[in-house]
Structure 1
């Protein structure tokens, strides 16, 4: 029982530290993940602070699936698909290229460091972190292309990095490595991971469609879904990362079909809290690992050399990313006339923003910590394990502090303009409102304009359609008393039809990369709020009618007196 109390107290203390550091970072206007890492480092230096070791399986199974799923859920499929070439070049091409460069560089620089160990280190430090990229860019004014590419890259490249890591680890353990076998296994792992993710997503989709609407059940199912996808794919030795990302993108693109308004609102609130807690724990845990990693190296002389190796490899991965991004952005335009005509020139500012946003994170640290203590013979210690762990920590720290701290300044200084979206945010806002009003008027005129309804009622419908995206409550004061109850019900049902029509219009507009996805999501939320209000009013009126009917059945005279 004492052990349970101790663990609980430790978790609560970390939660309090996360809350406190987030408040300070908001006050100082610093990037929250960077400040949490610094805070974790400072906390680890206090005397009598217990050393908290990260369990790699805890990261892979508990943290990774929901964070990947959340990223996929909030990514526009149309934007993602349009940038698939750039994302693939970064998520797969850059990961493999970085792994190769790091492998040969570390093999040449570090004494007695085999090439297989170099590939192992390269697989660990090559993928950027999904959490870091999204968290650092949150609230910053960056072009949609940059945000989409970075989010897509950081979600997908985990799979490539982990596959390189696993093959290199097998080579170190067994002393054998076959390129053809590794390439075949990569495509099988990735392909079947995608298939498993899609299959589970389709099953979940139909479960939602046939199950009765219940916001609590729907929200719980969204929380369980990423774990099902990840565990199922890993069970069949496929890429759990690709399964979660693919399944998340599929469900997100169809969420308007199977999630009612109350489920969407509740799930969004719950996921915002989950995202905050997981991100906070991830980054503060990175900082808290410093004493443990320093201890494993032992001697101060070894620590000094390891620090130099870590800084050199950190600079290398930053330079390799810059060297890869610029050609991958501009070369396809030079080599293909179709690409040049189809896509607008992003410019060097956008290319530099993408190249400078390559922060590493907890996935790299978890991969390094998962290295076994012994080789396959269970007798020989795993070579250079502590050195790899320390270098990985230095690379994470270097990219988070150097790039993470300077990125807001770089964004402000460059002031890169939108390329995919031509209209300003204000113009898009007006265009969305006009489009929603237009489809509403056409629908109402066609369905209700020819009916002999009260003129003020029809006018109210049109007025309501024009301002449906606001939270203004229009009262039907001009309706006659005897017809008000019936007309109010017709009015509410008509407005629910209008909301459904407008939501479908927003979905179609979201597929057009000319619109800011945040604006589309804002108007979807406003529609959900409007639908919630109307359903509450319908529920109240229904309860009143049912109560009067029950009273009439039991005591008709009392009902007559009340009337």
Structure 2
């Protein structure tokens, strides 16, 4: 313990330093973390970091998925739900099937079941890697929404494939009827359990006398409860976290106060950053040990690298085919959904970008490390080290090759320039704020204009909203003025909630304004 704890603290320091370096170089930090972990692993005398396979999913997945639910645009997910579900389920299954067929044909001793196991591990793209890379380029909101929505659901579909493949490898048989019923329960049961537990937690937040620290503590344990209870009932823990997280995200204004929302945002951002950093660093740290494992099985390193490169090519090609097939199907069956994608350049590049954003990462690593060392009968799990090595190669190659070239492709060819209208977004913000101020002014005028002996603060508010200007005289902030100001903030939140129902308004713009209102409310408390 005295040796491991300083090493873990040093890992966090390395994660922070590599992230700062990545920001300076303008590349995605997962790339540097993986490469940095690989170099660090060659330092002699370092302790070996091992995580219990039974705990790997439980430690990392729930909070990562839960936090993603709070940042994704649910409105955009509903708009693009057909394409999102096709990528999250059909594309994942097609990718896993492609990997299974190729692995069974080209890798000696790989059965179809083992191929599906490998396919389930490497089929889901990593949301963290994609988000970190696309941060340095400008892509349309629709493309971002599809990628974000896909990332929430593809983990569940890939892990369902993983679970079925594990059963097939362990028992040597696969009953389709039982699998179909199990699949339905995992999907429907997982979503229902997540929604029920989320509703219970929302009620707890509302009825218990919680403050910001306790609210934040609750949000940290909530995804673990959702995941654990769903898994205990043999449903999908991932879908439980996703459904529950989306529900709680939509209700955040109801059960969390401004202090909990502001402080929780910072806490969760740091918490998830450290979790992601540890996982990506472990990818590099574990690789030398996996290499020694495949060598002990008599597999030459060059051969194993060839297998990893082959599977990586299959992943990229399968996703590319799926991206163009999805675009073609949408244009044929739902042409009204894509009114702007009528130019040949964007029709060519949109599927290319969607297909090239298939970097693998956290979920693939967690699934690979979750493979048990032995089967239930005590025999060694077949090709476990090779599966781990192929997974590591796929993560490395997709992160480095696709991660480094994606910004270049977008910046070099600029396929979306004609559709990235920054002036339109700025105009939307101005129009929203103009409507917000007018709405507040009318509310104040109607309710307080005829109040007997109005406070100086009230008069100031009348003038403030009428002139569209912000008051600077804090001396007028009496208790009554603060009460009215707090009410005005709530009126603005209600206005923004209604405005968010407009499909033309970007939900991120609404969230930014809501965050500003939270900051205003917290500033008001200390005046």
1:541 maps to which residue? none
CA distance in 1, matches of 2:400, 2:474: 58
Q: 1:367 to 1:437 in 2, by over 3 A?
A: same
Q: Please give the root-mean-square deviation of Cα atoms over the aligned residues, in Å.
A: 2.3
Aligned to 1:377: 377
Cα distance in 2 between the residues matched to 1:467 and 1:233:
54
**Secondary structure of 2:234 counterpart:** coil
The aligned counterpart of 2:461 is 461
Distance 2:171 2:482 in 1: 69
Provide, for residues 50-99 of structure 1, a one-character-per-residue CA deviation record: whole Å limited to 9, x for no partner. Answer: 33234333431111110100000111211111111111000100111111
Contact 1:421 1:513 in 2 (8 A): no
Find the counterpart in structure 1 of residue 329 from structure 2.
331
In the alignment, structure 1 segments of 5+ residues that lack a partner are 478-483, 538-563
1:559 aligns with none
Which of 15, 37, 41 aligns to 2:38? It is: 41
**1:143-162 deviations in whole A, cap 9, x for unaligned?**
21122211111121111111
Counterpart of 1:434 in structure 2 is: 434
1:523 aligns with 2:522: no
- Name the larger-Rg structure: 1
In structure 2, do the counterparts of structure 1 residues 463 and 95 end up closer, same or farther at CA, with 3 Å as the change threshold?
farther
1:544 maps to what in 2?
none
Say whether 1:178 aligns with 2:175.
yes
CA contact under 8 A between 2:69 and 2:249: conserved in structure 1?
A: yes
Counterpart for residue 489 of structure 1: 479
How far residue 411 of structure 1 moved from its aligned partner, in angstroms, is: 2.8
Whether the 8 Å contact between 1:422 and 1:514 is mirrored in structure 2 is: no
CA distance in 1: counterparts of 2:322 and 2:132, whole angstroms: 24
Q: Which residue of 2 aligns with 1:499?
A: 489
State which drifts further: 23-32 or 260-269: 23-32
Deviations 1:454-502 (A, max 9, x none): 596555214544799x9x652167xxxxxx68xx333222211111011
Match of 1:344 among 324, 327, 339: 339
Kindly indicate whether the alpha-carbon contact (under 8 Å) linking 2:116 and 2:165 is maintained by their aligned counterparts in 1: yes
**Which residue of structure 2 lines up, in the alignment, with residue 561 of structure 1?**
none
Identify the residue that residue 545 of structure 1 maps to in structure 2: none
- Structure 1 position 272 matched with structure 2 position 299: no
Q: What does residue range 28-67 of structure 1 map to in structure 2 within 5 Å?
A: 28-67=25-64
For residues 381 and 27 of structure 1, the distance between their equivalents in structure 2, rounded to whole angstroms, comes to: 45
Query: Is this contact kept in 1: 2:139–2:420, CA < 8 A?
Result: no
Whether the 8 Å CA contact 1:120–1:165 is kept in 2: the answer is: yes
Out of 53, 75, 98, the residue aligned to residue 72 of structure 2 is 75
1:341 is displaced (CA, Å) by 2.7
Q: Please give the alpha-carbon distance, in whole angstroms, between the structure 1 residues aligned to 2:216 and 2:155.
A: 26
- Contact 2:4 2:47 survives alignment (8 Å): no
With structure 1 as the length reference, what TM-score do the two structures score? 0.87
Q: 8 Å contact 2:319–2:358 — kept in the other structure?
A: yes
Distance 1:169 1:301 in 2: 23
Per the alignment, residue 237 of structure 1 pairs with: 234
The one-character-per-residue Cα deviations of 1:255-282 (angstroms, maximum 9, x if unpaired) are 0111111111111111111122112111
Contact 1:421 1:516 survives alignment (8 Å): no
Q: CA deviation at 1:42?
A: 1.3
Aligned to 1:254: 251
Does the alignment pair 1:281 with 2:271? no
Shift of 1:301: 5.5
- What secondary structure is seen at the aligned counterpart in 1 of 2:374? coil
CA distance in 2, matches of 1:169, 1:205: 36
Q: Distance in 2 between matches of 1:465 and 1:258?
A: 29
**Cα offset, 1:372, TM superposition:** 2.5
1:26 Cα offset (Å): 1.8
- Residue of structure 1 aligned with 2:309, choices 308, 311, 315: 311
Q: 2:4 aligns with which of 7, 26, 30?
A: 7
Once the two structures are superposed, residues 177-228 of structure 1 have per-residue CA deviations (whole angstroms, 9 ceiling, x without a partner) of 1223222211210110000000001101111111224111111111111111
Alignment partner, residue 395 of structure 1? 394
Alpha-carbon shift at residue 313 of structure 1 (Å): 0.9
Alignment of 1:16-165 (within 5 A): 16-165=13-162
1:425 and 2:420 aligned: no
